[in-house]
Amino acid sequence: MPRIPLTDFAALPYPILDVRAPGEFAQGHQPGAISLPLFSDEERAYIGTAYKRVSQEQAVHLGLKYFGPKMANMAKQAKKIAPGREVRLHCWRGGMRSQAVQWLLELSGFTVHLLDGGYKAYRQAVLATLAQPRQWWVLGGPTGSGKTEVLHKLAAAGQPVLDLEGLACHKGSSFGGIGQPAAPTQEQFENNLAVALAQLPAHAPAWLEDESRQIGRLVLPGNLYDELRAAPCYVLDTSRAERITRLAAEYGPTQDPALLGAAIERLSKRLGGLATRDALAAVEAGNFELMVALVLDYYDKAYGYGMEQRWVAGNPVLPFSESFFDAAPTANGAGSTVNN
């Protein structure tokens, strides 16, 4: 079976088998790919050492030694993954690992589509996708104003939306990882982001939430952050009382007090000693509205500074309107119909 270019490979409807070592897969992989490692992380390290210190021939012999006992089980696993016996397959560069598994599976009656250039080519395509310029409408508002809920409503109304916090498994603040799934690696975040970007209209603006350069430990691509900061920002008008109630419900009795305390401690230098102590005491007493009110002072100052920078840069800051659920905003805040 010939090697398949990346665009054709992505369009095929068969399972993707990633035969790199588990550590490589965990660092980053194609969304939806299934790990079927030819070698363990330790075996891969031994083979690499043999290649560097002895010879390619010695590395190949060592690889064959590890591969032999695994062949029957790998073929069995592949049949469970793909009962139709047709798969997409790749390793790092489309070299000996993917060729060895391709040989095994074809011997077992599979049709195998090998990715030209392997995962390395895929990563190059991801970085190229992230570098493409795009237009955005930014949904702004202070912490607790309900931006994520509104973003989901926009998506449900048919508006194009990029949910950065959903992709990052983090809500952006010191508390943002509480109650969330484990965050992806930076590499995996970029892979997932590229897929999400590819699903948006190429020549029309899409909505995203106003974010800092970092979401938790993950960093936005530089050009995306620059575009976000320069785009029109439509701000939710939500009272402080509403925000406190929403955040207290979100980070209140259902959350681990130890995690809340750790989040407050991370902000201690910014909150100051007295506010930190009072916020920790509020958690212990179960007074989550007081905890939120104390912490919100810091976040509101940070939000105010960010908005000020937008004004200084001359970037539009406009009120968000309920009409945007039916029509997309224009630069002057009026609606215009979106055709997806």
pLDDT tens digits along 207-226: 999 999 999 999 999 999 99
Helices (H), 132-239: 147-156, 164-168, 186-198, 222-230
Residue 333 has pLDDT above 70, yes or no: no
pLDDT digits (tens, 9 = 90+) for 145-169: 999 999 999 999 999 999 999 999 9
Q: Is 317 left (phi over 0), alpha (psi -120 to 50) or beta?
A: beta
Residue 91 catalytic? yes
Structure tokens at 53: 């210190």
Q: CA 258, CA 260: separation in Å to the nearest integer?
A: 5
**What is the DSSP secondary structure assignment for residue 88, as one 8-state letter?**
E
Domains in the chain with CATH codes:
3-127 (3.40.250.10), 134-336 (3.40.50)
Q: Which residue has the tokens 């993954």?
A: 81
Specify whether the CB–CB gap between 201 and 340 falls below 8 A: yes
pLDDT of residue 1: 60
Catalytic residue among 36, 82, 91, 328: 91
pLDDT at 339: 35
Question: 51 pLDDT band (50/70/90 cuts)?
Answer: confident
Q: Mean pLDDT in the chain?
A: 92
239-255: per-residue pLDDT in tens? 999 999 999 999 888 78
Q: pTM higher than 0.85, yes or no?
A: yes
